[in-house]
Structure formats: structure tokens, C-alpha cells
Amino acid sequence: MTDPAAKVLPPDELVRRLGRPRANRVVFTNGVFDVLHRGHVDYLARAKALGDVLVVAVNTDASARRLGKGPGRPINTQDDRAYVLAGLESVDYVTWFDEDTPRELIARLLPDVLVKGGDYTRDTIAGADEVEAAGGRVETIPLVPGRSTTGIVQRIRQGGTDG
């Protein structure tokens, strides 16, 4: 069994290991992944099916706070979020980015497939232009209805367990 911590790499090391040229089809996605839930697991398994190696980039704590997800967010630290994601079978590597979007990291890595959830459109996906210009493709994956971290946090704060 692989230690999840071994799958968490600084951005420079990730690019060194997986940058072009490469033999494997690299799939890249990103997000906060604050409280891991069924929707995340489904999404990541479907993303992995699009290639050979799945990279997940998490927003640093500062980057996540700038997204305006709500008070006290993120709930889990960047290190904890990365470790939990690395523990998933579908995830090959986890890294992080401190900017508002991962565009710079995507432009350096140039994944073969850039993936976001169905709440995004091609025009709102950071790094889409760079990936397509390098011959890669951009995909969206439908979200699992009714599954979101924001919804879970709201239910917890209200003392409920609906859903």
C-alpha cells in the first residue's frame, strides 16, 4: 500500500516528473475539496477514466479563503485536504496552487486532459486555452445532484442530516 503522503508533491516536483514529453496521458483537475463527499469521489473516478495519471491540484488555504466559500472555510487545512485526496485509489498525485486559479500551473504542466465539473463551461475553465493550444482537450463531468461541500456545511450548522 502506498503512503498517501508520497503522492503529494510540490508543484515544481510534479512538473519535473510529469512534464512533457511523457508516455502517459495526464489528466488534471483542481478545486478546494474541503469536505470530501460522494460527489467528489464520483467526479475523481470519472476524471481518472479519461487518462492514465490523475493529478489533483488543491487551492491553498489562502486561495480557498479568497473564493468566498463562507465563514470558517476551508474547514480542513491544505495539508489535510491533500492527504485525504491522495488516499483515493483514483488519484495518482496531489499538488497545490496559491493563486486564484491554477492557470500558471496548468501552463507549466500542459496536461493532456483538463477536467472540471459540469458547473463550469469551456470559457470559464482556467488553463483551457493553454491546454488546447498544446494539443490537449478540455472536458466537463456532470456533478452528482445534491452533493456539495457547501450544502453539507449548511446542514451541519443547522443541525440536520438531510440528503
In a domain, 125, yes or no: yes
pLDDT band at 68 (very low <50, low <70, confident <90, very high): confident
Residue 58, SS3? strand
Residue 156 reports pLDDT greater than 70: no
In a domain, 58, yes or no: yes
How high is the pLDDT of residue 161?
A: 62
pLDDT band at 73 (very low <50, low <70, confident <90, very high): confident
Rounded to an integer, the average pLDDT of 22-49 is 95
> How large a percentage of the chain has pLDDT more than 70?
88
In a domain, 79, yes or no: yes
Helix residue ranges, H only, the chain: 11-18, 38-48, 61-66, 78-86, 103-109, 128-133, 149-158
- Domain assignment of residue 61, given as a range: 4-158
**Residues 39, 146: Cα–Cα separation, whole Å:** 9
**Residues 19, 24: Cα–Cα separation, whole Å:** 10
pLDDT in tens, 76-97: 999 999 999 999 999 999 999 9
CATH number (domain holding residue 154): 3.40.50.620
pLDDT in tens, 104-114: 999 999 999 99
In a domain, 163, yes or no: no
Average pLDDT of the residues of the chain = 91
How high is the pLDDT of residue 146?
A: 62
In a domain, 132, yes or no: yes
Q: How many CB atoms lie within 10 A of CB 127?
A: 24
How high is the pLDDT of residue 153?
A: 58
Q: How many helices (H) and strands (E) does the chain have?
A: 7, 5
Residue 41 reports pLDDT greater than 90: yes
In a domain, 53, yes or no: yes
Rounded to an integer, the average pLDDT of 28-51 is 95
Residue 115 reports pLDDT greater than 80: yes
In a domain, 91, yes or no: yes
**Residues 33, 40: Cα–Cα separation, whole Å:** 7
In a domain, 88, yes or no: yes
Q: Total structural domains in the chain?
A: 1
